[in-house]
Amino acid sequence: MEFMYKLPVLLVLGFIVFSLFEGMYFLAKDDGDVNKTRVVKALTIRIVLSITLFVLLILGYFAGVLEPHGM
């Protein structure tokens, strides 16, 4: 049951990594300045997903679902 709460966090993290590699691919393969908007869109999506992940982690912490590990 605990995994059900962590699944959205893991999915968003996976989408962040995918978007990062997508932006890197567009940066390497696009020619000219006309197609550089795909790079900007991919990195903008990554930033939005990162903020979403941060909010999910904070909400999970305050809801008591996610707990930090002690060292």
CA-to-CA separations, 2 to 5, 6, 15, 21, 52, in angstroms, rounded: 6, 7, 21, 30, 20
Outline where the chain has alpha helix (H).
2-29, 37-63
Residue 6 clears pLDDT 90, i.e. is over it:
no
Q: Tally the C-alpha atoms within 13 A of residue 2's C-alpha that lie toward its C-beta.
A: 4
Percentage of the chain beyond pLDDT 70 is 89
Please write the tens of the pLDDT for every residue from 37-59: 888 888 899 999 999 999 988 98
pTM given for the model = 0.79
